[in-house]
Structure 1
Amino acid sequence: MSLEDLPKKMKAVQVVEFDKPYRINEVDVPSTLQPTDLLVKVAVASNCHTDSMVQHGVFGSKLPQTASHEGAGTVVAVGGDDAAKRGFKIGDRVMCGLPLHPCGKCHDCTGPESQTQYCMNLDPGHVGVHTDGCFAEYVKVDSRSTTPLPDEVSFLSAAPLACAGRTIWRGVLQANLEKGQWLAIVGSGGGLGHLGIQFAKALGLQVIGVDARDEGLSLTKENGADIIIDARKGKESAVEEVEAVTKGMGADATLCISDAQSAAGLACALTKMHGLMVQIAQPDNVVIPFPELIFRDIRIHGSLVCSAEESRSMLRCIAEHGITVKTNVFYGLDKIHDLVDMVHGGKIQGKAVIVVDEEQIEHEKKIGAKL
């Protein structure tokens, strides 16, 4: 199939004004591909916290902007030799990449593989943030950041993994712990957190899950956290509970994936002296009381999404250990407003996704996609 054989128009969910509801528009199907590009027929697209930031104009996105940077689907066109040399071909099932057109020249692009995703010279930017995203029938992505799917992993799981999965997997890797050590996760009962618990357990870690919602605590328990802490009881109580199971030391490392104002400070308080706190959540300001930072020598490390090889290792882990993604499924792009109502209702467990193309979902069942 060539680009000429594809439809010229498609349905897309777009931000047309900041701080206004999404609008469903008819737009052009991407018709120009660079040698590194892939055109993907979207099967499933997912909502992420970053989508609300795009809606509020945090990233200064050029409008109209097709939403969602979490997508999965089937390759229907390959831009050129660069993408083909990476092994991509028409018909491949993929998890869409986020960075679109890194420069390939900066210190991040030419440095260690694990930091290539930090290129600051992307042109045009990140899919669904600076350029059109996955809440559409087709999306243009970069082969350098797009990941082939193992047969075991379904589109329904792969879409939220495209950002949430990649983000929390890298956070777990950045904690750099050995089997048997303690990892605390502040915000453990959300879309990232429930994956983080499963990833950590698959790597042989002991997990302390911390959340402040009944739904979040329930999902934390469901996904196998060894210790479950209700943050609503306060910092002192949480610290006592952690020290009780860690011989008075505290967690060996902590991931902060809650953007509550007190979350980063709590994450540091739960971490042992000289330990590491990995900050993943993106509040306006990361607030940490100076005694936690200075008197206890807590190291703070920021972390973003996975690199290409880290993304592949995540999918291998999922396929090997049977890790599952909690999804709330809506059928059709016209259900976007129902999805938004659920996301902002405060009761959601896991991730909210839209099935864009049911035919692809039916097809992948024949190859054994079960996770």
Structure 2
Amino acid sequence: MGYTTSTEIDIPKTCKAGVVENEGPDFKLVVEDVPVPQPGPDDVLIRLNTTGICYSDIHYMLCDLPIPTMSSFSVRSPGHEGAGVIVALGTNVTNWNIGDRAGIKPAYDACFNCELCWSGKETYCHESPQIGIQFPGSYQQYLLSPARYTSRIPDGVDDFSAGPIMCSGSTIYCSLKESGLKPGDWAVFPGAGGGVGHMGVQIARAMGLRVVGIDGGEEKKELCMKLGCEAFVDFTKVDDVAQEVVKICDGKGAHGVFVTATSASAYATAPMMTRISGKVMCVGLPPEGTAIAGADPLLFIGKNLHIIGTKVGSLLDTQKALEFASRGLLKPIVEVFPLSKMPEAVAKLRSGKVAGRLVIDFNTWE
């Protein structure tokens, strides 16, 4: 058989997966049966209980980012934030046991033989492929993961929380860490009520930062204030969002603005919200060519402004984000959909009307 499984675990020949038809602006997602893969010598096979639905998945299905398409790798299922249990082990795998809880992250693997990998920047490694683009993603219930790059889910963190933390929580933890902000500093989150933003609010608060949320609508405001924002700015009601943020932040502006929104306006206004030596952290992925992160050079010079981009979190970042959750300091707010409703969940996220994170329950059909 070439791998190890348990007589107590029945591994089917096929499993359900959300697959993309007609990728591009008119893409369609359907749920159908696909073959269950067999692990290679260094892989584990994971049966997912949950997967989060991330807006990056929408980008991949729309093909609106400057990256290769899913179809160019013969991949049909996106997704990169899954949580479940290991049901089979490759013959070389000794650091995992069948039944262990495990998570899937955006980065599929890394070379572990370059300075980026050695310095904890392995998600930037040139040999770090992306799951859900180059390999089948977490919209598929049974999928493979390299044993060395699979994340352990700690006790006390349920799969409905762990799945979204694999991407959203880890990504925003990484950005907060790289910002260098200190307790008592002001952290502002455009897109604070979204999947990444609402976790950023919680982690920033746990780090001792003073948090301002920016988003639109009463539902987002209620969520942000509940999670620990000191103030909320509703961009649908406030004429000059940047001016209002500066006013809230001691009249000087934010120490850090974490742009988790993907709109051009969010990126355009962020530099205006900072104080002297402030940092604009670029996190949200706008469609190619639709936004600019920056400002007039005179503003950069006059404010000692820093513009910094951060990608998805590393193995260590993921572990740290999960630790916040295990300590009760991070609790993703999720809306759960049954497996048959995965297309509806994707459509809802694409519409931009989601507070928190959408999660698919693979163990419930409808």
Q: TM-score normalized by structure 1? A: 0.87
Identify the match of residue 8 of structure 1 among 4, 13, 33. 13
* Distance in 2 (alpha carbons) for counterparts of 1:145 and 1:133: 15
RMSD over equivalenced CA pairs, Å: 2.2
Q: Greater CA deviation, 208-217 or 277-286? A: 208-217
Summarize the alignment of residues 106-117 of structure 1 with structure 2, pairs less than 5 Å apart: 106-109=114-117, 111-113=118-120, 115-117=121-123
Equivalent in 231, 234, 247 of residue 235 of structure 2: 231
Which of 237, 241, 245 is equivalent to 1:242?
A: 245
Matches within 5 A, 1:49-198: 49-57=55-63, 58=65, 59=67, 60-62=69-71, 63-81=74-92, 83-84=93-94, 87-109=95-117, 111-113=118-120, 115-122=121-128, 125-198=129-202
Structure 1 equivalent of residue 311 of structure 2 = 304
> Could you tell me how far apart the structure 2 residues matched to 1:55 and 1:243 are?
37
Alignment correspondent of 2:35 = 28
How far apart, in 2, do the equivalents of 1:136 and 1:53 lie?
Answer: 18
Distance 1:9 1:246, change over 3 A: closer
Identify the residue that residue 349 of structure 2 maps to in structure 1. Answer: 343
CA 1:34/1:50 → structure 2, altered by over 3 Å: closer, same or farther? farther
Q: Which secondary structure does the structure 2 equivalent of 1:78 belong to?
A: strand
User: What per-residue deviation string (whole Å, max 9, x for no partner) do you get for residues 240-297 of structure 1?
Assistant: 3333343332111111111111212222111111221110011124423314434322
- Tell me which moved more, 246-255 or 208-217: 208-217
Judged with a 3 Å threshold, the aligned counterparts in structure 2 of structure 1 residues 216 and 6 are, in CA distance, closer, same or farther, namely same
Letter in 2 for 1:126: Q
Corresponding residue number in structure 1 for 2:276:
273
- Give the counterpart letter for 2:251 in structure 1: G
- Pairs aligned (count): 349
Q: Distance in 1 between matches of 2:184 and 2:145?
A: 39
Q: Does 2:322 align with 1:315?
A: yes
1:64 deviates by: 4.4
Distance, in Å, in 2 between the alignment partners of 1:322 and 1:188 is 17
The aligned counterpart of 1:43 is 49
For 2:31, give the aligned amino acid: I
What is the CA–CA distance in structure 1 between the aligned matches of 2:275 and 2:227, rounded to whole Å?
24
Moved more, 297-306 or 207-216: 207-216
Distance 1:251 1:80 in 2: 52
Query: Which structure 1 residue ranges, 5 or more long, are not aligned?
Result: 360-371
| Contact 1:189-1:218 at 8 Å conserved across structures | no
**Secondary structure at the counterpart of residue 6 of structure 1:** coil
Paired letter, 2:111: C
Give the Cα–Cα distance (whole angstroms) in 2 for the partners of residues 275 and 106 of structure 1: 32
Letter in 1 for 2:235: A
Cα distance in 2 for partners of 1:167, 1:185 equals: 14
The CA distance in 1 between the partners of 2:317 and 2:109, in whole Å, is 19
Q: Distance in 2 between matches of 1:281 and 1:201?
A: 20
Q: Deviations over 1:36-60 (max 9, x none)?
A: x221001001111011111122431
Task: Please give the alpha-carbon distance, in whole angstroms, between the structure 1 residues aligned to 2:307 and 2:257.
Answer: 10
CA contact (8 A) 2:50 2:83 kept: yes
* Runs of 5+ consecutive residues of structure 2 not aligned to the other structure: none
- Cα distance in 2 for partners of 1:252, 1:176 equals 10
- 1-side partners of 2:299 and 2:234: how far apart? 20
Secondary structure of the residue aligned to 1:321 is coil
1:69–1:128 CA contact under 8 A, matched in 2: yes
Taking the aligned partners of 2:250 and 2:226, their CA distance within structure 1 comes to 26
* Percent pairwise identity: 27
Q: Which secondary structure state, in structure 2, belongs to the residue aligned with residue 65 of structure 1?
A: coil
Q: Deviations over 1:38-95 (max 9, x none)?
A: 21001001111011111122431124411211110001122244x53xx422111122
The structural deviation recorded for 1:138 is 0.4
Residue number among 243, 246, 253 corresponding to 2:256 in the alignment: 253
Aligned counterparts of 1:143 and 1:166: Cα–Cα separation in 2: 19
